[in-house]
Amino acid sequence: MNSEIRNQEPRNVWNNFADLNAVPRPSKKEERVIAFMVAFGKKLNLETVVDKVGNVIIKKPATTGMANRKTVVMQSHLDMVHQKNSDTNFDFDTQGIEMYVDGDWVTARGTTLGADNGLGVAAIMSVLESSTIQHPAIEALFTIDEETGMTGAMGLEAGYLDGEILLNLDTEEDDEIGMGCAGGIDVTAKREYTQEKTSDNVTGLTITINGLNGGHSGMDIHKGLGNANKLMNRVLYDGMENFDLRIHEIIGGSLRNAIPRESKATVVIDTISKAPFFFEMNELINDIKAEYKSLEPNLSITISDTETPNTIMEYGAQEGFIKSIHAALNGVYRMSPDIDGLVETSNNIAKIIVKDGHILVNCLTRSSSESNKTDLANSLCAAFELSGFDVEYSGDYPGWLPNTDSEVLSVLDKLYEKLHGEKAKIAACHAGLECGILGQNYPEMDMVSFGPTILGAHSPDERASISSTQKFWSFLLEILKNIPNKA
């Protein structure tokens, strides 16, 4: 691992982050990182437990003079989003993340960095291994599978934790203290289609969309960034309506919680229509680029000749599919009427696969309102079912309702102002944090979320601020020293 990373301050945090990032840790494949954390806890001779779903709990007694303070649960998730640029040769299942320093930022070479939520994990590790940090009794909770369903938090049963306060270290702006978040539900649409034999006198084409920013489908959804699946559908819709374009295959997007950056489609058109098709598509592509020029300066939409495929999707299924994607909402559905600037409800059309007689569409719908989450999910369901899709809901998880009377929130609010001479932003966020789920089995636990500044999470542009990590670490140490006494 790059020694330049390990030499940044605070060194204990960056060294633990470097050690963690050397361990492959895909969601739902956390066996190696679980073993890594268990070995870490046992090396420190601390009580270390793995629950039945794979969450790791490490407990550390209070330091001298702090035994009368409330027990604190420090919580972060072990898994990370795996995204890479199309031209990056990297195997997330076997390789550690390749990091480097770029000014005030730590970033990775063509992949996600894993600062979400690896820096939170590294900070907790640094508290656990320290012999000088003042703190009350600590219960370190390292959850699994946060990024693809929050099944770790959902599977954590009552009885493992005794803490009265939970510090979630998964917020990505260092001047923000989180007190609430959105819930979510996966909406998956599937259908089969008949493959027809490709007729004579047609030309095979590949349509490729790439160069988009992508990003977090919750925290970045309000920015109006390009969604590769929706942009591809605009091209396909125009081609179908005006040139009898027929689809052979589509591969678009990858992860449910990442705004899709790339899509590729293999199609055919009548050879006689090729010249006018390219002319009209060039105009449409220029229009799309003009619409996104300030948001997506690197957007690329190309159409090139390819070997003519042997099969295409039958027309009725194709028309239904394209029109369903056209009708399905992507982006912000409703802004919060109570919190200025907060997205209440949104949807991300995250992944589309059309291949070998099967269509798969994955959406992630988020909302801090359970009723509007259901309403939008039902709206998507209707759009797909009208075109013959089977729709299923899965991975439903609750939001975290804000508690303005929170004792620990008051502590953090006052400490931040004392340390920095200005008020922190106290806010709910549109991302999915595990606090709402954990609160189901631990309803009396007082929860708050904070963290260092991380930009571009869930994309290969992910980067973590070094100076912000220093600020976050100092803040965390002050919080631990000022935890309230037990009742």
Q: Which of 79, 145, 344, 462 is catalytic?
A: 79
Distance CA 128, CA 75 (A): 12
Distance CA 123, CA 119 (A): 6
**How many CA atoms lie within 13 Å of 155's alpha carbon, on the beta-carbon side?**
17
CB-based contacts of 368, cutoff 8 Å, min separation 6: 180, 181, 182, 183, 336, 342, 344, 345, 399, 428, 430
Distance CA 190, CA 232 (A): 19
CA 422, chain centre distance (Å): 30
- At residue 356's C-alpha, the angle toward residues 355 and 361, to 5°, is 35
Distance CA 185, CA 192 (A): 23
Residue with tokens 């656990």: 128
Residue with tokens 């066996």: 31
Is-catalytic flag, 79? yes
CB-based contacts of 350, cutoff 8 Å, min separation 6: 217, 229, 253, 254, 255, 256, 257, 258, 259, 260, 362, 363, 364
Distances 94 to 55, 250, 288, 359, 470 between C-alpha atoms, Å: 22, 28, 38, 30, 30
Amino acid at 66: M
CA 44, chain centre distance (Å): 32
Q: Give me the residues paired with residue 143 across strands.
A: 77
Distances 129 to 1, 106, 140, 486 between C-alpha atoms, Å: 21, 23, 12, 24
Helices and strands of the chain, counted as H and E runs: 12, 23
Q: Which of 30, 139, 145, 146 is catalytic?
A: 146
**How many CA atoms lie within 13 Å of 433's alpha carbon, on the beta-carbon side?**
30
Distance CA 167, CA 71 (A): 11
Residue 57 tokens read as: 């709990």
Distances 179 to 83, 103, 150, 375, 449 between C-alpha atoms, Å: 29, 32, 18, 24, 7
Is-catalytic flag, 146? yes
What's the CA dihedral at 282, 283, 289, 292 to 10 degrees? Answer: -150
Residue 38 tokens read as: 């268990």
Which one, of 471, 469, 472, lies nearest residue 15 by Cα?
469
**So which residues are the catalytic ones?**
79, 146
